[in-house]
Chains A and B, each alone.
Chain A
Amino acid sequence: MDFTYTILIPLIPLAVFLILGINALKIKENVAGIVGVGGLLASTILSFYTAFQYFFKVGKVDGVYQTFVEKTVWMNFTDTLAIDMGVLIDPISVMMLVVVSTISLMVHLYSRGYMHGDQGFTRFFAYLSLFSFSMYGLVLATNLFQIYIFWELVGVSSFLLIGYYYTKPSAVAASKKAFIVTRFADFGFLMGVLMIGYYTGTFDFMALNNPAALQDLSSPIMQYSGITFMGFSVITTALVLIFAGGAGKSAMFPLHIWLPDAMEGPTPVSALIHAATMVVAGVYLVARLFPMFYFVEDGIALQVVAYVGGFSSLFAALIALTQHDIKRILAFSTMSQIGYMMMALGISGYGGVEGLGFTASMFHLFTHAMFKALLFLGAGSVIHAVHSNVLQEMGGLRKYLPITHITFLIAALAIAGVPPFAGFFSKDEILAAAYESNRLLFWVEWTVAGLTAFYMFRLYFGIFWGKERVYKHTPHESPLSMTLPLMFLAIVSAVAGFVPFSQFVSPDLAGYTTHIHMNIAAMSVGVGVLGIAIAWIMYKKETDIADKISSAFGFLYKWTYNKFYFDEIYLFVTREIIFKRIAQPFAWFDKKIVDGTMNLIGNSTVDISKKIKGAQSGKVQDYAFAFVSGVVIMVMVFIYFMN
């Protein structure tokens, strides 16, 4: 089967980006919307066709999914080490194609309504297309270097879209922060890529992910794995560095500080990039290299992934409890759910049912993308109606926004893990996998499940129930272009859980059957319902219970409200230590010594030339005199020596 046509999936958005981007000032809003949505629709159709072909027609041979690679060599270094450009079709890349296409198309449709009348409408759609191109490229990458290139491209598109309202200082600061933090993490990624290239001699995923070669210490890939760095094999170190890049993009602790600020961007952007697709790139990266993570040194790097993910999910869930900005609550919730996925990857085994963690992680990625995008788009619809982000300024909106209300409720139920919505199934698999392999992480995630249900319903009751209030402008339901994507995503969020995911996605590509783990399901649903019930009591009617509890917990409340002061810690480290103690002496040396030497040379040249420029009088006679005298002197010398 020839999958070469999949190269069109990223190339169509690229063409749209070029058309809209170059003519950003000329193209009218209507045309830009149609071109943007049309281009993405074409990519989406191709993606779904690919998925259908791959999963149901040609992908499976003897019960095992095949990997199809179509590539062309771009830069050749040695016999094995080359940077290729191409497409790699395997279960997770096809699954990601479906996720990215669905969410991106919905967000494009939604943006036509949400951004209506905005001055930079065409620019916005151009950026969205650039992002779609980069994300498709990232998903389809055939080797580490290609994925790194597209990794940076999604970073750039994220930067451009966060700073979309570039006249707003907070948006500019947020885009800079996001770019610098993720770029800092990507430095680790680059180091990891280079180390892998140096020690294994290849960037190619097909060569790197070969389980047989990874288990054989004399194979070309593992031949240098005996070399250690800080007590670990160099390959493990490289994998941890690569994970650092993934943690930066996926807002894992301690590189999470950019994600809440990134909510300064337009809400559809938050839904597309900072909830559903780009932030799960880190999870995708670890999943892409899963055999390496699993087999090298018995998975030490994978342990790091598991604990970082588990801690991040708890940490973010605690912060989300007390935030007031509805988009920030969703941002911390995203971070928490990505922590779930990372943790599930980290505790996963490799073959057959052992690989439940991997499957569950990908499954959760899929369902989370749907319901989190829905939550963000719903929040966008609310913000559109109320013109505010702050939870305290909302309440009683269910009468004004019926469609948003119902769809938001479905998404909240899905993320809280209430059956039969999508989140229940994926979360159940994650918890079951954690229960089998790591009890500590299981209890952490179980607690997080309860916290998630609580803060989600705090948000839901706060927006749609609570105090009845009088709004300056009566809120009204959003136009159909915005509610249609909401309804579609709500249907998907409701039924996506019934997809037999383990048949399609598993680490050894063979597929297996899972069942619902009743006892674990009972525990997770129990804690979820408990969270919802507490939220019901505290926030359904306007009561002062919440205030009483927050004042009772005084400093704990303040800590979580201020996000455990992590922004302040980073500012202290950068401003007080790095800028003052390190950068300033270097700046002094640069200004005084380095620049001083150069200025001295330049200034003395100017001084000397000022003194001697009088010799150039500008009179022809003077020059003629000098010329004649020279000739006379030369003739005299000549005559003297000739005789």
Chain B
Amino acid sequence: MIPGVSIYEILTVTTLLFFIGIYGFVTRKNLISILLSVELMLNAVAVNFVVINKYLYPDMLQGVYFSVFIIAVAAAETALAISIIINLYRLATSVEVKATETMKY
């Protein structure tokens, strides 16, 4: 609970954050940027969990725990994604999305 700040304001910010992530995911050409956009979306969701827990069910902790869980999964996922990108770079000497288009049709 942050005094003077209502739940709507915080949710507006996280929604913006989430859609910025989606926008980045869809438009970026560089795989690293896409990965960053995915992280933005994850963080938006994690913040949502904490906020909804604190504002609506102050005597419970599930939301907080779940956000911790999301952070752990995000870390693992990032490591995995980075390793895929490195392998792709070795294969195609590029981290552009265009380099992965060989699977078209």
Would you give the 0/1 interface string for B62-103, flagging 1 where the beta carbon is closer than 8 Å to chain A? 000000000000000000000000000000000001001111
Q: Is the CB of A616 within 8 A of B104?
A: yes
Contact between chains at B101 and A621 (CB < 8 Å): no
Which residues of A have CB within 8 Å of B34?
621
Q: How far is the CA of A184 from the CA of B97 in the complex (A)?
A: 69
1/0 contact string of A599-643 vs chain B (CB within 8 Å) = 000000000000001001111110011001000000000000000
Q: Closest residue of chain A to B22, judged by CB?
A: A628
In the complex, per-residue mask of B35-52: 1 if CB is within 8 Å of any chain A CB, else 0: 000000000000000000
Return chain B residues, CB-CB under 8 Å to A613: 105
Residues from chain B with a CB closer than 8 A to the CB of A625 are 26
Q: How large is the interface on A (under 10, 10 to 19, 20 to 34, 35 or more residues)?
A: 10 to 19
Alpha-carbon distance between A628 and B97 when the two chains are bound, in angstroms? 19
Binary contact readout B6-46 vs A (1 if CB under 8 angstroms, 0 otherwise): 00000000000000001001110000001000000000000
Q: How far is the CA of A474 from the CA of B97 in the complex (A)?
A: 88
Which B residues touch A618, using CB under 8 A?
100-105
* Cα–Cα, bound, A621→B34 (Å): 9
* Cα–Cα distance between A613 and B105 once the two chains are bound (Å): 7
- Docked Cα-Cα span, A175 to B51, in Å, equals 91
CB B75 to nearest CB in A, in angstroms, measures 22
Chain B residues whose C-beta falls within 8 Å of the C-beta of A619 in the assembled complex: 97, 100-101
B104 close to A621 (CB less than 8 A): no
The answer to whether B26 touches A628 (Cβ under 8 A) is: yes
Chain B residues bordering chain A, tally (CB within 8 A) = 12
B105 touches A624 (CB 8 A): no
Contact yes or no, A624 B26, CB < 8 A: yes
Q: Contacts of B102 on A, CB cut-off 8 Å?
A: 618
Minimum CB distance partner of A622 in chain B: B26
Q: Closest Cβ of chain A: how far from B84's Cβ, in Å?
A: 12
A618 shortest CB reach to chain B, Å:
3
A-B contacts at CB below 8 angstroms, number: 26
What CA separation (Å) do A622 and B105 show in the bound complex?
14
A503 to B: closest C-beta gap in Å = 86
CA distance A88 to B97 in the complex (A): 82
Q: Helix, strand, loop or mixed for chain A's interface?
A: helix
* Docked complex Cα distance between A519 and B102 (Å): 100
Which residues of chain A are within 8 angstroms of B22 by Cβ–Cβ distance?
A: 628
Please determine whether B101 and A624 come into contact, CB atoms closer than 8 angstroms.
no
State the Cβ distance, B92 to closest chain A Cβ, in Å: 14
**How far apart are A552's CB and chain B's nearest CB, in angstroms?**
84
Other-chain residue from B25, B100, B104 in contact with A624 (beta carbon distance below 8 A): B25
Q: Give CA–CA (A132, B32) in the complex, Å.
A: 81
Query: Cβ of B105 and Cβ of A616 under 8 Å apart?
Result: yes
Convert A252-266 into 0s and 1s, putting 1 for each residue whose CB lies closer than 8 angstroms to a CB of B. Answer: 000000000000000
Most buried by A among B22, B26, B102, B104: B26
A residues near B105, Cβ cutoff 8 Å: 613, 616, 618
Contacts of A624 in B (CB 8 A): 25-26
Contacting B at CB under 8 A, from A571-624, are 613, 616-621, 624
Across-interface contacts of B97 in A (CB, < 8 A):
619-621
CB nearest neighbor in B for A618: B104
With both beta carbons as reference points, the residue of chain A lying nearest to B29 in the complex is identified as: A621
A286 to B25, CA, bound (A): 88
* A634: min CB distance to chain B, Å: 15
Q: Which residues from chain A contact B27 at a C-beta distance below 8 Å?
A: 621
In the bound complex, residues from chain B placing their C-beta under 8 Å from that of A617 are: 101, 104
**Alpha-carbon distance between A453 and B71 when the two chains are bound, in angstroms:** 111
Contact call A621/B26, Cβ cutoff below 8 A: yes
Residue of B nearest to A626 (CB): B26
CB distance from A230 to the nearest CB of B (A): 65
Cα-based distance from A628 to B25 in the complex (angstroms): 11
The distance from the CB of B104 to the nearest CB of chain A, in whole angstroms, is 3
Q: Is the CB of B103 within 8 A of A621?
A: no
Alpha-carbon separation in the docked complex, A628 to B18 (Å): 12
B21 CB → nearest A CB, Å = 10
Q: Which residues of B contact A620 (CB under 8 A)?
A: 97, 100
- The complex places the Cα of A613 from the Cα of B100 at a distance, in Å, of 18
| Least distance between A593 CB and chain B CB atoms (Å) | 34
Which residues of chain A are within 8 angstroms of B100 by Cβ–Cβ distance? 618-620
Bound complex: CA A618 to CA B97 (Å): 10
Query: How far does the Cβ of A111 sit from chain B's closest Cβ, in whole Å?
Result: 63
Minimum C-beta distance from A270 to chain B (A) = 64
Question: How long is the Cα–Cα vector from A76 to B101 in the complex, in angstroms?
Answer: 64
Q: Which residues of A have CB within 8 Å of B101?
A: 617-619
> What is the distance, in angstroms, from A625's C-beta to the closest C-beta of chain B?
5
Q: Which residue of B lies closest to A613 (CB)?
A: B105
| CB proximity of B32 to chain A, nearest CB, Å | 14
Chain A nearest CB from B35 CB (Å) reads 12
- Rounded to whole angstroms, the CA-CA distance of A619 and B102 in the bound complex is 10
Q: Please report the C-alpha to C-alpha distance between residue A616 and residue B101 in the assembled complex, in whole angstroms.
A: 11
CA distance A617 to B103 in the complex (A): 9
Q: Distance in Å from the Cβ of A510 to the closest Cβ of chain B?
A: 85
Question: Nearest residue in A to B34 (C-beta to C-beta)?
Answer: A621
Chain B nearest CB: distance from A609 CB in Å? Answer: 10
B49 to chain A, nearest CB (A): 19
Interface residues of A in 48-68 (CB under 8 A from B): none
A256 to B36, CA, bound (A): 90
Residues of A within 8 A of B26 (CB): 621, 624-625, 628
Instruction: Say how far A348's CB is from chain B's closest CB, in angstroms.
Output: 79
Cβ distance A629 to chain B, nearest Cβ, rounded Å: 9
In the assembled complex, the Cα of A625 lies from the Cα of B25 at a distance in Å of 9
Within 8 A of B (CB), among A331-381: none
- 8 A Cβ contacts from A139-153 to B: none
A611 to chain B, nearest CB (A): 13
Closest CB-CB distance, B85 to chain A, in whole Å? 13
Q: Which residue of A lies closest to B101 (CB)?
A: A618
**How many Å lie between the Cα of A301 and that of B103 in the bound state?**
75
The chain B residue with its CB closest to the CB of A616 is: B105
10 new A-B contacts at CB < 8 Å, known A618-B100, A621-B26: A616-B105, A617-B101, A617-B104, A618-B105, A619-B100, A620-B100, A621-B27, A621-B34, A628-B22, A628-B26
Q: Nearest 3 CB-CB pairs, A to B? A: A618-B104, A625-B26, A618-B103
Contact sample, A vs B, 15 pairs, CB 8 Å cutoff: A616-B105, A617-B101, A617-B104, A618-B100, A618-B101, A618-B102, A618-B105, A619-B100, A620-B97, A620-B100, A621-B26, A621-B97, A624-B25, A625-B26, A628-B22
